[in-house]
Amino acid sequence: MAEAERIIGTPDTPDAAGDGQERPDAEQEQKPEQAPERPRGKRRVAVLFAVALFAYLIDLGSKMLVVAKLEHHEPIEIIGDWLRFAAIRNAGAAFGFGEAFTVIFTVIAAAVIVVIARLARKLHSLPWAIALGLLLGGALGNLTDRIFRAPGVFEGAVVDFIAPKHFAVFNLADSAIVCGGILIVILSFRGLDPDGTVHKD
């Protein structure tokens, strides 16, 4: 009898062995599904700040070069008279609008930076990370001018130098802000939210 049971085996033994092996695997399969959410969000935030830093440094470097080499000099023609580099000081908003409201524009730029920083905590979308990074970098670039350039703190004039024909003079920070804003409009029309969810109205 003992020999027959050894050959046939008891029905409970494989199941018991199987239970001991399968349950840890099942638990291991469930854990990775819950874990990636936070790292993915952190990667998106890292992209946001990387794009913002790149936009900020490019804008800052271009302004330093313009002030050192182009200010108080004749404009440089890039494409005939259709596109020139001409250094000007702009006390208004982007593209030279609203020169009488310099302090207000400074406060608005600071508020935009705070809003983007708060929004970054629930950011899970790569396109939104890029768009907000462009906005943040551009806002920081012009805010730096507002704070540190003449005539005074929070009243500083922004350095503009890109001068297309029949258009306002602007800088790379303005370009980053406009590109970020256009991308946000596109993402909103497509129903993509900053947290990565897609909705249809």
201 is catalytic: no
Using the structure block, give the residue that is written with the tokens 């705070």: 114
Q: CA 131 to CA 190: how far, in whole Å?
A: 14
Name the E strands within the chain.
76-79, 83-90, 158-164
Q: What is the rounded CA–CA span in Å between residue 96 and residue 179?
A: 18
Among residues 12, 15, 174, 201, the one annotated as catalytic is: 174
59 is a catalytic site residue: no
SS (H, E, C) 57-82: HHHHHHHHHHHHHCCCCCCEEEECCC
- Structure tokens of 140? 């920081």
Q: Which of 160, 193, 195, 201 is catalytic?
A: 160
Which positions ≥6 away from 58 have C-beta within 8 Å? 172
Residues labelled catalytic: 160, 174
